[in-house]
Amino acid sequence: MAATRTDSRSLELIGFALIALLIMVVLPLMLDIFRLNLVGKYLTYAFVAVGLVLCWGHTGILSLGQGVFFGLGGYCMAAFLKLEASSVENTRIQSTPGIPDFMDWNQLTELPFFWVPFKSLPFALIAVVAVPAIAAFILGAAMFKRRVGGVYFAIITQALASVLTILIIGRQGYTGGINGITDLRTLLGWDIRTDNAKYILYFVCCFLLLGIMLLARFVLASKLGRILVATRDQEDRVRFSGYDVANFKIFVFCLASAMAAIGGAMFALQVGFMSPSFVGIVPSIEMVIFCAVGGRHSLVGAVVGTLVVNWGKTLFSESFPELWLFAMGGLFIAVVLAFPRGLAGLVTDQLIPRLPHWRGWTHRQPSPAPAE
């Protein structure tokens, strides 16, 4: 390992600053609002990828069902926006005015009880984080206390993604079904569809993402972060050091899920709808791909990976749609086989050691010496 940990810490700071510069300054200056809105959408996936860095990269828990939490967050947000868009005058033509259009089509004559609280924005915002976190807690507690892990955990989360998709599609009177919750318009009277609003939402999304990265950074830099790494490498030893490993896993899984959920909520705000196609197996695995490509150990890498893969997807599908799946599959295999540390690993392991000045540029800080 060429770079020491202190090197990689200062590297991470530099990377963090570069990312902030890129998404807050460079991209808004370079791109028109249409493309920028696209970037905003990609960044919502980066929330999931950052969460995956925590729970997969550092703790070794591979969840193939992060779409579930992304979706729950997105649906909570969309529920509020949809209720606001379904005011009585907007929905005069319905047989029951004042309820969302899809409920009317499904012969619901009043708002289901679990929709009612979503009329309140504070409730909706809390629910965005709380609902997925509670779901993750229940799942995590059941699994990690019983020491389910590895492939088993991956497959079970995948099956859950499948269950939730079937439920959302099947209970369309309550969920909007396969079409999802569409035509979201305003947030407390503020039209979220205008270019202006899209700019503002984009920056809100950036701020939140950077905030979440800082939070993740804080967690990873704390002793808890080291316990997570320790758990990944030697779970038994952590247990024999007196830690309740399951609690730490539950914590990080809930945290990652809450992050995914915030991403989902920002997605609903920026894209203007939410549908089950972001809940299922395929999007869940794609989000793992973003994280893997960027580097599963690196927060900055995860964001870059998300941007690169999505940018590639847009580019490829515009120019060579036939080749897209080949490229995506090939990229994925290449990353797993040749660069398991992803783009971030390429930078720290390959690029940096070759820069002649690097070693003089940062100096290793020794860990604290004992006070005499």
Partner 1 sequence: MASDTDFLLALENVSVSFDGFKAVNGLNLYIDTGELRVIIGPNGAGKTTVLDLICGRTRVSEGSIKFKNQEITGRKEQEIVRLGIGRKFQTPTIYEDLTVFENLELSLPRGRSVVGALFWKRADEVIQRVHEIAATVFLADHVDRLAATLSHGQKQWLEIGMLLIQDPELLMLDEPVAGMSVSERAKTAELLNQIIKNRSVVVIEHDMKFVESIAHRVTVLHQGKVLAEGNMQRVQSDPKVKEVYLGH
Partner 2 sequence: MFGEYSLGELGSILVMQGFAGLILFSVFLLMALGLAIIFGQMGVINMAHGEFMILGAYMTYLCSHLFEAYLPSLYGGYFFAAMIIAFLAAGALGLLVEWALVRRLYARPLDTLLATWGLSLIMQQAFRSTFGAREVGVELPQWMMGSLNVTGSIEVQINGLFVMGLTLLITAAVAVLLFKSKWGLQVRAVVANRTMSGAVGIDTRRIDRLTFGLGCGIAGVAGSAFTMIGSTGPTAGQLYIVDTFLVVVFGGAQSLLGTVASALSISQSQSALEFFLTGSMAKVLTLLMVIGLLMLRPQGLFVLKVRR
Partner 3 sequence: MSPRKPPFRLATPSRRQLLAGAAALSAAAFLPQRALADFPTAQVNTTGLAVTDADVTVGILHSVTGTMAISETGSVEAEKLAIEQINAQGGVLGRKVKFIQEDGASDWPTFAEKAKKLLVNDKVASVMGCWTSASRKAVLPVFEQYNGMLYYPTFYEGLEASKNVIYTGQEATQQIIAGLNWVQKEKNAKTFYLLGSDYIWPRTSNKIARKHIENFLKLKVVGEEYFPLGHTQFNSVINKMKLTKPDVIYAIIVGGSNVAFYKQLKAAGVDLTKQTLMTISVTEDEILGIGGENIVGGYACMKYFESLDNTNNKSFVAAFKKMWGDNIVIGDVTQAAYLGPWLWKLTVEKAGSFDIDKVSGASPGVEFKGAPEGYVRIHENHHLWSKTRVGRARADGQYDLIYETADLMEPDPFPKGYQ
User: Which positions from 273 to 302 touch partner 3 by CB under 8 A, shown as an x/- string?
Assistant: x-x-x-------------------------
State the angle between helix axes of 245-271 and 66-85 in degrees (0 to 180), rounded to the nearest 10. Answer: 40
357 binds partner 1 (CB under 8 A): no
- Residue 74 contacts residue 278 (beta carbons within 8 Å): yes
Query: Would residue 98 be called left, alpha or beta, if left means φ above 0 and alpha means ψ between -120 and 50 degrees?
Result: left
Residue 366 interface partner, choices partner 3, partner 1, partner 2, none, CB cut-off 5-8 Å depending on type: partner 1
Q: Which of 26, 112, 142, 170 binds partner 3 (CB under 8 A)?
A: 170
Amino acid sitting at position 348: T
Shortest Cβ 57–partner 3 spacing (Å): 26
Q: What is the nearest approach in angstroms of partner 2 to the Cβ of residue 264?
A: 22
The torsion angles phi and psi of 190, rounded to 5 degrees, stand at: -95, 120
- Written as one letter, the residue type at 372 is E
Find how far residue 51's CA is from the centre of its chain: 6
Q: Which does 219 bind (CB under 5 to 8 A by kind): partner 3, partner 2, partner 1, none?
A: partner 1
The interface mask with partner 3, positions 75-114, x = CB under 8 A, is ------------------x-x------x--xxx-------
Instruction: Tell the smallest beta-carbon distance from residue 62 to partner 2 (Å).
Output: 5
Our CA dihedral for 319, 320, 321, 327, rounded to 10 degrees, sits at -120
* Residues near partner 2 (CB under 8 A): 60, 62, 142-143, 146-148, 150-152, 154-156, 158-160, 162-163, 166-167, 170, 281-282, 285, 288-289, 292, 322-326, 328-333, 336-337, 340
Determine if residue 176 is left, alpha or beta; phi over 0 gives left, psi from -120 to 50 gives alpha, anything else beta. Answer: left
Residue type, 41: K
Instruction: List the Cα angle 265/292/27 in 5-degree steps.
Output: 55
Our CB check for partner 3 shows the closer of 6 and 277 to be: 277
For 249: left if phi > 0, alpha if psi spans -120 to 50, otherwise beta; the answer is alpha
Helices and strands counted in the chain (H then E): 18, 2
**Which listed residue (180, 263, 264, 345) binds partner 3 by CB under 8 A?**
180
Between 243 and 273, name the residue whose CB sits nearer to partner 1: 243
* Single-letter code of the amino acid located at 243: Y
Residue 223, contacted partner among partner 2, partner 1, partner 3, none, CB below 5-8 A by kind:
partner 1
Q: Which does 183 bind (CB under 5 to 8 A by kind): partner 3, partner 1, partner 2, none?
A: partner 3
Site for partner 1 in 247-276 (CB under 8 A): 247-248, 251
Interacting residues with partner 1 between 3 and 32 (CB under 8 A):
5
**By the rule CB under 8 A, 61 interacts with partner 1:** no
DSSP letters spanning 24-59:
IIIHHHHS-HHHHHHHHHHHHHHHHHHHHIIIIIIT
Q: Which two tokens stand for residue 320?
A: 């060579």
Question: What is the Cα–Cα distance from 166 to 177, expressed in whole angstroms?
Answer: 9
| Of positions 24, 219, 285, 346, contacts partner 1 by CB under 8 A | 219
Q: Report if residue 189 touches partner 1, rule: CB under 8 A.
A: no
For partner 1, the closer of residues 141 and 197 by Cβ is 141
- Distance (Å, whole) CA 228 – CA 161: 25
Question: Where does this chain bind partner 3 (CB under 8 A)?
Answer: 32, 34, 38, 41, 93, 95, 102, 105-107, 166, 169-170, 172, 177-180, 182-183, 185, 193, 271-273, 275, 277, 317-325
